[in-house]
Structure 1
């Protein structure tokens, strides 16, 4: 779609999504040209934006994001293709869950390590308790390329905030790009703290009991009127603007 025909809502989504890629790169969350962050296009059912296959996260900008639909069809004249796993994972979630406006899937060092731990994320820190009983699990089946696996992944996600993809990585979803990003921030920070503590103590770590963990989760989410990312995202964009504002291009 040409810039002249693009809606302001799509343009804003492109900028936020490109910012998420750049911030992820700054965090060291990228895996060369692999993994994805996708965002639904406002007002266009079943249509979403995803990174061009072959570009590093640090090269993604608003204009080079590829517009596709949940039938694995490219909808613009982008010279780039899309990694098939971007359809199998992201397309399946966008098709099944309208509230998941952004899907963030990574292969980070800490996420990969957490994905090997049978007990998964424990209520060891405040960051972890934001995700108390909010993470599902999806068993490893090989490279995620099939529609059938996509459907199983969707079932495991349900209405949760994310998944631990066993032996694979992590995934979060959000009603906004900012929400999905901040949920991954909490997951990454919690995983790193837990795994470092486990390494230092031989696997023995202090955990909050279920009552305290549930109370902390309730304090995090409040009455639901403020989403994760609502307060943090403007500050993160200011940081990014100081470093390299070319994500907006």
Structure 2
């Protein structure tokens, strides 16, 4: 069991980041996106370029709180004195992006059924539904190399990511990163919906592809349906209100 760190040992910015990330873990559990004690959502600590927060290895997403998140650096050193364990697979994958992608403030990796199913197909994500249309031409692909515990895979992950911020890890799952946690949350939600609908469409009949010119218009106009608070912010705040009505212990 992870040991909570002392509140006096952190800045206000870190405290806020911990609460935001803890809320995200609880939201993912509420949405059915947790995977026993595995998978990870990481968040850079504001003002500390080489430090990020990650879930302690051994806790279910429903057990994550602001104080039991683990603060580590990109070399794997625990910085908060908690002595908590960190899943090596999560550290290796997330640290390489936090190290080499400056705008990867938040990184989300999941093994949802729909995400894994689409990642395991030759076609990957196809232009056959509203949500998928927002990602076409913006997804990177990385072939499966086994569990991500070998540092040398990091160079290939970065190469395959290129200038994109969504990746299908073939035969494995999905990876999303963004310059804010709410934006990453919304991107993951949309990608998950795209994968769910694609899987359902395949069972329903013959998929109809959306023409490239329509996809271009769709991607151009998506920003017109966003509130001025920023991408993902109202969506994330709405889900925080949902989990607060169930259980506020994540704030501790």
Same fold (TM over 0.5): yes
Residue deviations 1:140-173, cap 9 Å, x none? 0011011111221122122212110001000101
Partners of 2:159 and 2:131 lie apart in 1 by: 25
Partner of 1:184: 188
Q: 1:248 aligns with which of 240, 247, 251?
A: 251
* Cα contact 1:96–1:154 (8 A) shared by 2: yes
* Cα contact 2:30–2:243 (8 A) shared by 1: no
Counterparts of residues 65-76 of structure 1 (less than 5 Å)? 65-76=69-80
Say if 1:226 and 1:99 are closer, same or farther in 2 by CA, change over 3 A. farther
* Cα contact 1:112–1:168 (8 A) shared by 2: yes
Give 1:188 deviation, angstroms: 0.6
Partner of 1:147: 151
* Cα contact 1:136–1:163 (8 A) shared by 2: yes
Range that drifts further, 92-101 or 128-137: 128-137
- SS of 1:105's equivalent? strand
Give 1:223 deviation, angstroms: 11
What runs of 5+ residues in structure 2 fail to find an aligned partner?
none
Count of matched residue pairs: 247
Is 1:205 the equivalent of 2:202?
no
Task: Normalising by structure 1, report the TM-score.
Answer: 0.94
Give 1:43 deviation, angstroms: 0.3
Partners of 1:172 and 1:223 lie apart in 2 by: 21
Partners of 2:78 and 2:137 lie apart in 1 by: 36
- SS of 1:78's equivalent? coil
Residue deviations 1:191-249, cap 9 Å, x none? 01011111222xx2012111111211121245997643122122111111111111111
* Cα contact 2:108–2:177 (8 A) shared by 1: yes
Q: 1:79 aligns with which of 61, 76, 83?
A: 83
Partners of 2:13 and 2:118 lie apart in 1 by: 36
